[in-house]
């Protein structure tokens, strides 16, 4: 899979005045095709909750790696230096994905809440007990 984000802008107009700009984030696979929408994989969900059952195609596809994959895709999209509006939309999406990481996230194995270390860039995925059992 060679995943990439396909970001499209949709302007909602009312009497030919733009009243709202929406950004649609789609995940595409360049190995499938370089043509959109033939390479469409799924929509990038606004929020990812890996501790519960998958609730969208994206989570079904990437499971425990959903959050990581989504962030990687967004960061890769930023590296392509989009215009400032798109950058803002991407940053907003990254922020939406973040809250679950920072505070009390749950252990991906046993579901116990984990205290996250704010200094640490990468959040813990497993509680101390599970981690010492070899979950990484």
**Residue from 65, 110, 113, 133 that binds Zn ion (CB under 5 A)?**
110
Regarding 64 and contact with Zn ion (CB under 5 A), the answer is no
Closest contact distance (angstroms) between CB of 124 and Zn ion is 10
Residues touching Zn ion: how many (CB under 5 A)?
A: 6
**Based on C-alpha coordinates, what's the Rg of the chain?**
17
Q: Which are the contacts of 102, defined by CB distance < 8 A and separation ≥ 6?
A: 116, 118, 123
For the chain, what percentages of helix, strand and coil (3-state, to nearest 5) are there?
35, 25, 40
Closest contact distance (angstroms) between CB of 117 and Zn ion is 16
**Residue from 49, 100, 109, 116 that binds Zn ion (CB under 5 A)?**
109
What is the four-CA torsion angle of 119, 5, 21, 82, rounded to 10 degrees? 70
Give, as one character, the DSSP assignment of residue 129.
Answer: H
| Candidates 21-29, 59-67, 69-77, 127-135; binding stretch for Zn ion (CB under 5 A) | 127-135
Residues that bind Zn ion (CB under 5 A): 107, 109-110, 112, 127, 130
């Amino acid at each position: 899979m060679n995943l990439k984000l396909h970001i499209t802008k949709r302007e909602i107009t009312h009497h030919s005045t733009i009243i709202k700009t929406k950004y649609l984030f789609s995940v595409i696979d360049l190995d499938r095709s370089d043509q959109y929408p033939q390479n469409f994989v799924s929509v990038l969900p606004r929020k990812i909750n890996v501790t519960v059952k998958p609730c969208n195609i994206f989570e079904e596809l990437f499971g425990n790696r959903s959050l990581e994959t989504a962030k990687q895709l967004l960061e890769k999209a930023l590296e392509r230096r989009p215009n400032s509006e798109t950058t803002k939309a991407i940053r907003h999406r990254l922020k939406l994905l973040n809250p679950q990481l920072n505070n009390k996230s749950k252990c991906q194995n046993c579901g116990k809440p984990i205290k996250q270390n704010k200094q640490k860039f990468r959040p813990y995925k497993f509680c101390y007990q599970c981690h010492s059992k070899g979950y990484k």
